[in-house]
Amino acid sequence: NAGVTQTPKFQVLKTGQSMTLQCAQDMNHNSMYWYRQDPGMGLRLIYYSASEGTTDKGEVPNGYNVSRLNKREFSLRLESAAPSQTSVYFCASKSWAGLAGGNEQFFGPGTRLTVL
């Protein structure tokens, strides 16, 4: 199993450009998450998808949109990139085994985004 994969690994954008970060997991997990991590900071949740067909805002959703394309894939889109969105973006997934699903999340390797 590849686990959680993210593409691209690195990206440089100019202010105002748009792009989509891709995430896929092969663990048959129900829930998927997008986080951002600024230098020297902890991770902050952008959006999450509890199950296929649902998405919800996290702590810092402004400037982003998401699509849960199917159970495997969860993409994050920046419609008009800003320098404040320069960050490392991590995707994660989690199994949801009924009510006591646990919170062991599996993370991808990250996408390093610079907006000039």
Partner 1 sequence: DAKTTQPPSMDCAEGRAANLPCNHSTISGNEYVYWYRQIHSQGPQYIIHGLKNNETNEMASLIITEDRKSSTLILPHATLRDTAVYYCIVISNFGNEKLTFGTGTRLTIIP
Which residues are at the interface with partner 1 (CB under 8 A)? Answer: 4, 31, 33, 35, 40-45, 48, 50, 58-59, 90, 92, 96, 99-110
Report in angstroms how near the CB of residue 9 gets to partner 1 at its nearest.
11
72: left (phi over 0), alpha (psi -120 to 50) or beta: alpha
48 neighbors 39 (Cβ within 8 angstroms):
no
Report in angstroms how near the CB of residue 93 gets to partner 1 at its nearest.
11
Report in angstroms how near the CB of residue 15 gets to partner 1 at its nearest.
25
Residue 76 CB: number of other CB atoms within 10 A?
Answer: 22
Tokens of 96: 């949801």
Task: Compare residues 57 and 77 and give the one whose CB is closer to partner 1.
Answer: 57
